[in-house]
């Protein structure tokens, strides 16, 4: 091939790699924004249906469990049917779920629409297919690319949670769900016209070497399940999800019960999400520079500290503690995502990479679902947020343990 032809091909691959990263960010933004908006639906739904906190938190718990269980299926569907069908079906499911939720007459219907139907759609457009897209196009700077895509998590919370709260105050929670549903119909049209045939399954990863390309035969899901590296990532991600969602699902109600206005509480939650954008991008860059393991441990320390700031707020209102919680907890929120996704793609490359990461991600969501439910149960049983916060702190310590103790995470292939 001539130099000019080779240069043109390289430029085309660079543009496609950037487009893949942009699309991954965009769909993660939507998926997380839809998911986290439940935090501001929780109180009005609780008041309208006259149900307990455990029941409303149970909707989110069901969502997390269902998302986790469907995550491996999203990876398998992406490989079998391609990105266009996978993403389009995901957007369609979320849109239908929002429209149906707007018509719910009992809380049980929200368990089905938000807890199950929306979660299946979110799995199809969320982290798992995004990690496969990025893993295909980026090798040398994969942790940086993963961090940029994961910034969609915090961005989605930052924009959509306060926007949903404003919409609820303007047109009620049912009108807000209706608006969200029809907005997703527009996204569906965009999804169908994207050049998926060029983005998924073609091209060459940025910075990939001949050795890495040769290694793309990779490891199968069955073999990965028996590897200690897989078990370590799964255990860490499970306890991370457990602890984070014991806290996240209760932050807005906790602040409202502490005397803060609902919009201010939602804004604080959104600001934590905004800082997570900076956090996950920084995590990607710092991991590339200093290694994945030390940055992961630093993020666990920040989360642990942030939880105790929130615990302090349960004793007395303090703007300083609130700012510290938003800052410290927020900057670490989502930081483990790009670390674990990068490690999974590096340790288990090949056609089964999405399915393998899907199982690891499922462990996170199952843990999150259990954590969200226990959080609601402990609040109703004790009429206090403190037991859940203390248990969340213990869970974060357990999540960090594999990074401290497992030898495989200290190897160069896992941490650079």
Q: Can you tell me the distance from the alpha carbon of 154 to that of 55, in angstroms, rounded to the nearest whole number?
A: 26
pLDDT tens digits, residue range 273-321? Answer: 777 778 877 877 788 778 888 888 999 999 999 999 999 988 888 888 9
pLDDT at 203: 44
Whole-number pLDDT of residue 300: 95
Confidence (pLDDT) at 301: 95
Confidence class for position 412, pLDDT limits 50, 70, 90:
very low
Partners of 206 in the beta sheet?
138
Nearest to 327 by CA among 291, 355, 302: 302
CATH class of 14-205+223-415: mainly alpha
What share of the chain has pLDDT > 70, as a percent?
Answer: 90
DSSP-derived secondary structure for 236-295? HHHHHHHHHHHHHHHHHHHHHHTT--HHHHHHHHHHHHHHHHHHHHHHHHHHHHH-HHHH
> Could you tell me the sign of the dihedral formed by the alpha carbons of 344, 399, 281, 159, in that order?
positive
To the nearest whole number, what is the mean pLDDT of the chain?
83
Does residue 5 surpass a pLDDT of 70? no
209: pLDDT strictly greater than 50: no
69: DSSP letter: H
Which residue in this structure is represented by tokens 């457990």?
Answer: 242
364/376 Cα distance (integer angstroms): 18
At 317-373, the pLDDT tens digits run 888 899 999 999 988 887 888 888 888 888 887 777 777 888 898 888 888 888 888
54-77 mean pLDDT: 82
DSSP-assigned letters across all residues of 2-16? -HHHHHHHHHHHHHH
Q: Is the pLDDT of residue 187 over 60?
A: yes
**What band does 223 get if pLDDT is binned at 50, 70 and 90?**
confident
Task: Give the rounded percent of residues in the chain with a pLDDT score beyond 90.
Answer: 29
């Amino acid at each position: 091939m001539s130099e000019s032809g080779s240069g043109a091909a390289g430029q085309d691959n660079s543009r496609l790699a950037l487009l893949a990263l942009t699309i991954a960010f965009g769909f993660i933004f939507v998926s997380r924004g839809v998911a986290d908006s439940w935090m501001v639906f929780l109180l009005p739904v609780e008041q309208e249906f006259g149900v307990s906190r455990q029941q409303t938190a149970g909707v989110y718990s069901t969502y997390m469990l269902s998302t986790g269980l469907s995550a491996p299926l999203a990876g398998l569907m992406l490989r079998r049917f391609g990105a266009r069908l996978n993403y389009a079906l995901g957007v369609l499911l979320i849109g239908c779920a929002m429209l149906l939720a707007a018509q719910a007459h009992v809380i049980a219907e929200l368990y089905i629409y938000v807890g199950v139907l929306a979660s299946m759609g979110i799995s199809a457009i969320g982290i798992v297919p995004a990690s496969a897209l990025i893993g295909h196009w980026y090798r040398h700077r994969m942790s940086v690319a993963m961090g940029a895509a994961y910034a969609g998590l915090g961005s989605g919370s930052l924009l959509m949670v306060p926007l949903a709260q404003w919409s609820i105050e303007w047109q009620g929670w049912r009108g807000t769900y209706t608006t969200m549903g029809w907005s997703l119909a527009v996204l569906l049209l965009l999804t169908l016209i994207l050049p998926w045939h060029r983005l998924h399954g073609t091209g060459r990863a940025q910075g990939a070497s001949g050795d890495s390309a040769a290694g793309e035969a990779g490891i199968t899901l069955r073999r990965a399940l028996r590897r200690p590296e897989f078990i370590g990532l799964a255990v860490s991600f499970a306890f991370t999800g457990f602890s984070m969602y014991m806290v996240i699902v209760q932050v807005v109600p906790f602040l409202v019960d502490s005397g803060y206005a609902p919009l201010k509480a939602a804004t604080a939650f959104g600001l934590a999400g905004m800082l997570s954008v900076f956090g996950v991008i920084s995590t990607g860059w710092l991991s590339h520079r200093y290694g994945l393991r030390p940055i992961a441990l630093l993020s666990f320390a920040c989360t642990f500290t942030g939880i105790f700031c929130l615990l302090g707020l349960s004793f007395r209102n303090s703007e300083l503690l609130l700012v510290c919680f938003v800052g410290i907890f927020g900057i670490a929120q989502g930081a483990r995502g790009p670390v674990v996704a990068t490690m999974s793609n590096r340790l288990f490359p090949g056609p089964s990479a999405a399915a393998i990461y899907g199982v690891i991600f499922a462990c996170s969501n199952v843990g999150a679902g259990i954590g969200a439910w226990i959080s609601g149960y402990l609040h109703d049983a004790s009429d206090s947020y403190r037991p859940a916060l203390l248990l969340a702190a213990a869970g974060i310590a357990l999540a960090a343990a594999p990074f401290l103790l497992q030898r495989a995470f200290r190897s160069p292939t896992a941490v650079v």
